[in-house]
């Protein structure tokens, strides 16, 4: 697809960002998504949100990324640039929007001196696995999280 423009999220992007965030993470409350977006500092080095738009200004997708200073599975350096989330509108998938978003995140990571760029995906999200492999990521580990309530 030609005419895909990637730029850091600004206040004018918040409504589109919120709608796409809810589509990507429907389990979260709209209020929580809204609070996360309001807390976002567009001048900070990390985290970042990049918005993809077409030539007509229609929002096509977004990517969120952050520097992770804690241990990142499969990585050897710190901090690691981490792809926290990526979403492309269903009707524009398969046209290179995610490829452009990931390239922009990688450029951001390189600019901060990172030598590793990591990500994750649910075990059953095979489309995301395919995308990551197509975009140059290699699979490192498969993990299952657990939790248990603790009585105070
Ligand atoms: C995964 C997702 C972001 C891909 O976005 P996209 O814009 O369609 O991806 P692109 O068109 O840029 O494709 C990039 C590469 O990944 C591959 N790819 C993307 N989706 C794929 C799929 N469903 N099956 C196989 N390969 C796929 C493409 O073939 C392409 O490689 P190529 O250029 O060598 O052909 C999009 O399907 C999406 O938003 N899914 C729902 C949200 C989600 O699962 N996000 C990831 C959470 S970890």
**Domain range annotation of the chain:** 5-134
Name residues whose C-beta falls within 8 Å of residue 8's C-beta, 6 or more positions apart in sequence.
42, 48, 49, 50, 51
Pairing of strands 117-119, 80-88: parallel
Mean pLDDT, consecutive 10-residue segments, the chain of 152 residues?
91 96 87 91 96 97 98 97 98 98 98 98 97 98 96 93
Distance CA 147, CA 152 (A): 15
Atom of ligand 1 nearest to the CA of 101: 12
pLDDT value of position 106? 98
Tokens of 27: 């389990």
Burial zone of 114 (CB within 10 Å; 0-12 exposed, 13-18 middle, 19+ buried):
buried
Pocket test for ligand 1, best of 98, 118, 132, 133 (most atoms within 8 A of CB): 98
The answer to whether 106 and 57 have CB atoms below 8 angstroms apart is no
pLDDT value of position 52? 98
Atom of ligand 1 nearest to the CA of 119: 48
pLDDT value of position 29? 73
List the residue whose alpha carbon is closest to atom 40 of ligand 1. 87
Extract the runs of DSSP E, i.e. beta strands, from 72-131. 80-88, 117-119
List the residue whose alpha carbon is closest to atom 35 of ligand 1. 134
CATH architecture assignment, domain 5-134: 3-Layer(aba) Sandwich (3.40)
Give the DSSP letter of residue 96: S
Residues with Cβ within 6 A of ligand 1? 24, 86-88, 93-99, 121, 125, 127-128, 130-131, 134-135
Ligand 1 center–CA 126 separation, angstroms: 10
Q: Give the SS3 label for residue 61.
A: strand
């Amino acid at each position: 697809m030609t005419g895909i423009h990637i730029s850091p999220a600004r206040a004018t992007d918040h409504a589109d960002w919120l709608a796409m965030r809810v589509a990507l993470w429907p389990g979260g409350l709209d209020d929580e998504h809204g609070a996360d977006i309001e807390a976002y500092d567009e001048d900070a080095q990390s985290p970042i949100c990049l918005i993809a738009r077409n030539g007509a200004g229609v929002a096509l997708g977004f990517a969120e990324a952050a520097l992770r200073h804690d241990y990142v599975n499969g990585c050897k350096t710190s901090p690691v640039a981490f792809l926290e989330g990526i979403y492309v509108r269903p009707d524009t998938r398969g046209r290179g929007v995610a490829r452009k978003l990931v390239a922009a995140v990688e450029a951001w990571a390189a600019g901060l001196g990172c030598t590793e760029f990591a990500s994750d995906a649910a075990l059953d999200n095979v489309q995301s696995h395919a995308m990551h492999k197509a975009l140059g990521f290699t699979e490192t580990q498969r993990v299952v999280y657990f939790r248990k309530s603790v009585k105070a």
